[in-house]
Amino acid sequence: MGSKNKLKRFVENESFVNMIQPSREEVLERFPYKGKWNTVFKNDHSIILELGCGKGEYTLALARKYPEINFIGIDIKGARMWRGAKTALEEGLNNVLFLRTQIELLDLCFDNEEVSEIWITFPDPQIKYKRTKHRLINENFLRKYQKILTKEGLIHLKTDSEFLHGYLLGFLHSGKHEVLYAHHDIYNSSSPPEIVKSIQTFYEKQFLKQNKPITYVKFKMNF
């Protein structure tokens, strides 16, 4: 994407009522919507997050399927999020918002037990050991997720990375965490949750064309 197109999208993002873009300083000092997301959505419906949402394909698909639930796509790349926010406005999806911020600040943007589920779809696996701290499913991030999740809150990881799938399962089994479903190839499984197969992102379709297995884990944290 050319720099002019990116700049155009950044400007347009500023006008979107469904796009929230706080500065890092604003989040660190006191994010105004923490614990008050019901006032933004103007209802008390459950909140589900998609982390690293990119263009928001999964966020939008979930929002269309479950209009009685609120969805927030979170990413730092505004030029990509532009597409999701614009589509949501064009379709009149009032149960969708996009939050542009670093995922490491998640627990400063949401209050304790304010979120019911978290989806992590096709994140960068950060395979190199020195990149461990950047994996969205390392212990530090998982503790942040548990903090904002309700007591029965769920986390979903869907990825083409066998490494990431195995890394997560190893971590979960080494602790007292609860694995509710796991499969290393959901399209060759007879019993994956319907929602896992019925929504496919652009990249997921590309992986399937390459015959790459898609893995999925649904779990609960018990730190």
Which entry of 44, 75, 124, 160 is annotated as an active-site residue?
Answer: 124
Residue (of 215, 219, 155, 204) closest to 57 by Cα position:
204
Show the tokens assigned to 133.
Answer: 């701290």
DSSP 119-171: EEES-----SGGGGGG-TTSHHHHHHHHHHEEEEEEEEEEES-HHHHHHHHHH
Burial 164-174 (b: 16+ CB within 10 A, else e): bbebbbeebee
Cα dihedral sign, 107-39-156-9: negative
CA distance 74 to 68: 20
Torsion, Cα 98 99 104 106, to 10 degrees, reads -90
Q: How many whole angstroms from its chain centre is CA 200?
A: 14
DSSP bridge pairs for 13? none
Does the active-site annotation cover 75?
no
The residues that are catalytic are 124
